[in-house]
Structure 1
Amino acid sequence: MLTTLLLGIAAIALWGSSRMTWVQVTSSDGKTLARTTDLDGGTWAAAMTPLALTLLAAVAASFAVRGWALRVVGLLVGLVGIGVAVPAVQLLVSGADDDRAADLAELSSHLEEVSAEASVLPPLLALAGALAALAAGVLLMRKPKARAGLSSKYDNPAARREAAAKLGQGSKDAPDEPVTQRMLWDALDAGEDPTLDTEGEKPDVDGNEPGKDSRS
């Protein structure tokens, strides 16, 4: 499924980017050799790893919920994409701020020189993951209700018996999924005849409705 694939790609991209070096800080106190400190994505954009885990949770949620709840999941996934895109775009456009880099690297305030250099590939990877998350969010919000949620084969026994009873009674509320052997057996176990029509009558041997001639 395309939505699941996009969520997986986004989660992997975010996790991989969070492990890569986003900013390299060079510092010197004027007395010793210059010191280099690498700041990975998880440090420069602290929410990167939690957001990657959120996308993995959204994969399971996309199968478990339906209707308005699925749209809420899609909205949250879209917000995750925006939350990731903002720091990535800022770094690519404006570069790394020296003061912020020094704070994150926990450098002494008495250093004579501090310079920060931004990497390009890690924020680009994060941005690609953000775009995948946004696309997945849009698809989740537009997902048809009939395809949302788990199939009835994952329902608990009580829910299956209730659906089977509706099937046997010919109720308008009967499941709109294709009738399977399991559903027929569940109906029989519930004491209902799944071959009855909506009026509680069986068709004749030719498959016609009661009271109608097959030649008419």
Structure 2
Amino acid sequence: MTEPVPAKGRYPVGAIALLAIAAALMWGASRMTWVTVSSSDGLAEPRTDALNGGVWFGALTPLALVLLASIAAVLATRGWPRRVIGVLIALVAAVTAVPGFALLIGKGATPERAGALAELPGRATVTEVVTAPFPAALTLIAALAAFAAGVLLARMPEQTARLSGKYDNPVFRKAAATEQVTKQRAGTGQEPVSGKLSERVLWDAIDAGTDPTEDGGSAEQSETQPRR
């Protein structure tokens, strides 16, 4: 008979840890300065605006929250729903990587976009745009961590998840425990089987009405003895 999946094997700890790390890195990157915009309108003093990740990439914070919410979804699902969540997480990771990658290769920070996000007046002219590679790199690392988590979830063995869900159900546990006690008793003859099975199996068998401390002979005798 297939043994129950251990409790610690029911949850993809590695994927959950990667999701938590990715969400934390994305949140941190959203608070850092990505682009510094210097401008002048010919009237007032030159102006400098620092655009953080939440401004430069407006979806960064919401995507970090999505990854946090996905941890709860992973814990609450089994089988193919969890694998679908893994695919969605991989897609979120791909979206997250785009702005950071564009900034690192020098194709994302245009003066027009920087001026619009800094909300400069129409007469102002952008004189300089300085990018910060570190927060963009953090976002890429977060995207890689989230993508790895998505792959782990998408490739999680469906049989393992199904078995873990089965043994979470008390009805299945009690039936499985009764079957184990019966088979163990048949193999040991007249000896009690209480010392040969796990404590959880013994308690589940007792809850199901099967006493594992009885030997096979007494059990058969109690079954064949006529009731008064």
Report TM bin, short chain. 0.7 to 0.9
Instruction: Please state whether the residue corresponding to 2:128 is helix, strand or coil.
Output: strand
- What is aligned with 2:8? none
Distance between the aligned counterparts of 1:100 and 1:165, measured in 2? Answer: 65
Pick from 151, 162, 180 the counterpart of residue 138 of structure 1: 151
Pick from 134, 156, 164 the counterpart of residue 121 of structure 1: 134
- What is aligned with 2:174? 164
Instruction: Please state whether the residue corresponding to 2:129 is helix, strand or coil.
Output: strand
- What is aligned with 2:118? 105
2:20 touches 2:67 (CA, 8 Å); kept in 1?
yes
- What is aligned with 2:28? 16
Instruction: Please state whether the residue corresponding to 1:46 is helix, strand or coil.
Output: coil
Tell me, which stretches of 5 or more residues in structure 1 are unaligned? 171-178, 197-202, 206-216
Distance between the aligned counterparts of 2:90 and 2:14, measured in 1? Answer: 16
For residue 84 of structure 1, what is the amino acid of its counterpart? T
Could you state the TM-score of these two structures normalised by the residue count of structure 2?
0.71
Instruction: Please state whether the residue corresponding to 1:107 is helix, strand or coil.
Output: coil
Q: CA RMSD in A?
A: 2.9
1:22 touches 1:39 (CA, 8 Å); kept in 2?
yes
Pick from 163, 174, 185 the counterpart of residue 203 of structure 2: 185
- Return 72-81 or 144-153, whichever deviates more: 144-153
- CA gap 1:20/1:147 in 2 versus in 1, 3 angstroms: farther
- What is aligned with 2:39? 27
- CA gap 1:105/1:149 in 2 versus in 1, 3 angstroms: farther
- What is aligned with 1:214? none
1:9 touches 1:132 (CA, 8 Å); kept in 2?
yes
Tell me, which stretches of 5 or more residues in structure 2 are unaligned? 1-12, 181-196, 218-228
Distance between the aligned counterparts of 1:48 and 1:71, measured in 2? Answer: 24
- What is aligned with 2:14? 2
Instruction: Please state whether the residue corresponding to 1:109 is helix, strand or coil.
Output: coil
Instruction: Please state whether the residue corresponding to 1:56 is helix, strand or coil.
Output: helix
Deviations 1:147-171 (A, max 9, x none): 448956994xxx313431343256x
For residue 189 of structure 1, what is the amino acid of its counterpart? D
- CA gap 1:12/1:154 in 2 versus in 1, 3 angstroms: farther
Could you state the TM-score of these two structures normalised by the residue count of structure 1?
0.75
- CA gap 1:106/1:75 in 2 versus in 1, 3 angstroms: same
Q: Percent identity?
A: 48
Comparing both structures, which one devotes a greater share of its residues to helix? 2
Once the 2 structures are TM-superposed, how far is the Cα of residue 80 of structure 1 from its aligned partner? 1.2
Instruction: Please state whether the residue corresponding to 2:39 is helix, strand or coil.
Output: strand
- CA gap 1:100/1:194 in 2 versus in 1, 3 angstroms: farther
Instruction: Please state whether the residue corresponding to 2:91 is helix, strand or coil.
Output: helix
